[in-house]
Chain A
Amino acid sequence: GAVVSQHPSRVICKSGTSVKIECRSLDFQATTMFWYRQFPKKSLMLMATSNEGSKATYEQGVEKDKFLINHASLTLSTLTVTSAHPEDSSFYICSANPQRGYEQYFGPGTRLTVT
């Protein structure tokens, strides 16, 4: 089946620093990748849609200058949390949509803790 990886799986950083999270589709090409954030006891919240070769589309309320998304190739998208603050601590999950496919395949997630 389709496999999506995320790296790192867990990261702890100090307030004010930046953190980059990678999302890779390992055995398929994904023209579209999505970035989600999960809040405790809440659903997955879509942050942005990442399209290969173009700018990401951000959901309302998501700061694009704080959450930088780059979709450099058909198999890689990155999310950079800039100037991280403790309230950015969360579980970030990416998903990838295979070309001509309906399903989205999710990565295992990245636990970010900002101290």
Chain B
Amino acid sequence: DQQVKQNSPSLSVQEGRISILNCDYTNSMFDYFLWYKKYPAEGPTFLISISSIKDKNEDGRFTVFLNKSAKHLSLHIVPSQPGDSAVYFCAASMYYGGSQGNLIFGKGTKLSVKP
């Protein structure tokens, strides 16, 4: 049973436009959500995160929105650049037993930004 779902395996966007990557989760105990970017044959790179007490977090061109009632989060990239082309992983975790739990990853969405 997949607890974190990224239903779109791929997304193609024109340079300069907005990229919207979506993520759904099933476990209401998750209290921290993260987005990672991954190039082929490299480890994931942390992009941006959001705590469950917030509904929006912005960092430069990247904004993450969290809708707890819908158990949905999205990553917006504006404006999209060709260098943003990568696989984006959504991840969720929960704090329990006095420590942060491991990350549960979605399967990733491959973003292609065309010049």
Contacts of A106 in B (CB 8 A): 36, 43-46
Indicate if B65 sits at the interface (CB-CB under 8 A): no
**A positions within 8 Å CB-CB of B:** 4, 6, 32, 34, 42-44, 46, 49, 91, 93, 95, 97, 101-109, 111
Contacts of B43 in A (CB 8 A): 4, 6, 93, 95, 106-109
Shortest distance from the beta carbon of B112 to any chain A beta carbon, whole Å: 16
In the assembled complex, the Cα of A42 lies from the Cα of B107 at a distance in Å of: 6
In the assembled complex, the Cα of A53 lies from the Cα of B49 at a distance in Å of: 29
**B positions within 8 Å CB-CB of A:** 32, 34, 36, 41-46, 49, 51, 89, 93, 99-100, 102-103, 105-108
Shortest distance from the beta carbon of B4 to any chain A beta carbon, whole Å: 8
| Interface contact A46-B102, CB-CB below 8 Å | yes
| Interface contact A102-B93, CB-CB below 8 Å | yes
Contact of A44 among B44, B46, B49, B99 (CB under 8 A): B44
| Interface contact A34-B102, CB-CB below 8 Å | yes
Contacts of A95 in B (CB 8 A): 43, 103
Shortest distance from the beta carbon of A42 to any chain B beta carbon, whole Å: 6
Contacts of B32 in A (CB 8 A): 102
In the assembled complex, the Cα of A108 lies from the Cα of B44 at a distance in Å of: 8
In the assembled complex, the Cα of A65 lies from the Cα of B33 at a distance in Å of: 32
In the assembled complex, the Cα of A111 lies from the Cα of B42 at a distance in Å of: 10
Contact of A49 among B41, B102, B106 (CB under 8 A): B102
Known: A43-B89, A102-B32, A105-B46; 16 extra A-B contacts, CB below 8 A, are A4-B43, A32-B100, A34-B102, A43-B106, A43-B107, A44-B44, A46-B102, A91-B41, A102-B93, A103-B46, A103-B49, A104-B46, A104-B103, A106-B36, A106-B44, A111-B41
Contacts of A111 in B (CB 8 A): 41
| Interface contact A43-B105, CB-CB below 8 Å | yes
Shortest distance from the beta carbon of A109 to any chain B beta carbon, whole Å: 5
